Amino acid sequence: MRNLLSAAIAASLAAVSPVLLPAPAMARLAVAATVTATAEREGDKITLGWAGLTGPVQVYALPTADAAQREGRLIGTASTGDRLVVTAAANPRPYFLLRDARGLDVRVAERLLPLEGGSNFRDLGGYRGAGGRPVRWGQLYRSAVMAALTAADFVTLSKLGIRTVCDFRANGERSRDVVNWPAGAAPNILTRDYELDLRPMMAVFAGGATVTPEQARGAMAGFYRELPFQFAGQYKEMFAELLAGRAPLAFNCSAGKDRTGMAAVLILLALGVDRDVAMADFLLSNQYYRPAAPRPDAKPDPTMAMFARLPPGVAQAFMGVDRAYIDAALAEIDKRGGLDRYFTDALGLGPAERKRLQGLYLQR
């Protein structure tokens, strides 16, 4: 999956063509545009990997995501190779700057946050957007339900400075899995009252028929075709918060893969991130989402109980994500006038608003 993501990012960067820049600047940007990096944690060790940098590569620990190199601390140098293992505690959250002998650099942090009770809690930072500028780390977070977060996790989120949470869950989901934010430390939480109607998707089980994985994926694709329009009001509200600068912002549903996955794709596309890269981020839920065991005091979730009884291939179609799902959503958007029209009419994101978003959430 890491190779897929790096390849997709590199493909998007190679497409950047700053035709208004002088030739030397174009050459520098063309080289920098192929630089990618990853950070994967195991215990207190983080493996930093990169492509497009030439040794020796210096690694700086930064105090904040946007800190300048002079504010950082040199913690290692890789004379050769494309990776380096460093030691870094999870708190405070570590950010890194990797710089090679040519002066090319890239900022990187862990994609998945190591929260004790977190599920699929990920940072959208690092992907190249409009003009080749990366999405800022530490500003845009996507997550599954946060009801299992521990006291230590809430401290971590407080240190991240999260100001706004857009909770896309329906009434029943929120009442079943309550998020107990510490008194006086809760961010501004945005919700909408509605009941999630899964009957159209569950119609595939009508009459007790045996369902194949292909039929299950078809049912999910049908759900996704309506997703951008059914939840346009909530997505518009989320973008309004971002336009107002009320970030860092997190958004979630129950699994953090469908309603949340669609929202993440829309954010990345609005920031000018290549569609294949946005798709690669969407597919990471297959790697990072694991349904949590129900808490002893939790109310029964009949939908999850039903999925647990399904054959593995059918369950994966419902509990995982597939390229065909987002393809179906974007195809429906195209069918109804295209992405630009959807952004403008459904989400209130005209060209000026998208330019403002890019100014706020892409590195300068």
Edge-to-edge strand ranges of the sheet holding 249-252: 122-123, 140-143, 249-252, 164-167, 188-190
Average pLDDT over residues 103-123: 97
Residue 311 clears pLDDT 70, i.e. is over it: yes
Edge-to-edge strand ranges of the sheet holding 73-78: 73-78, 57-62, 95-99, 105-108
**253 noted as active-site residue:** yes
pTM score of the predicted model? 0.89
Average pLDDT over residues 264-274: 98
Residue 237 clears pLDDT 50, i.e. is over it: yes
CA-wise closest residue to 36 among 85, 83, 94, 88: 83
pLDDT of residue 300: 66
CB atoms within 10 A of CB 270: 22
Average pLDDT over residues 238-259: 98
State which fold the 112-361 domain adopts.
Answer: Protein-Tyrosine Phosphatase; Chain A (3.90.190)
Residue 340 clears pLDDT 90, i.e. is over it: yes
Residue 13 clears pLDDT 70, i.e. is over it: no
pLDDT digits (tens, 9 = 90+) for 58-99: 999 999 999 999 999 999 999 999 999 999 999 999 999 999
Catalytic residue among 9, 221, 238, 253: 253
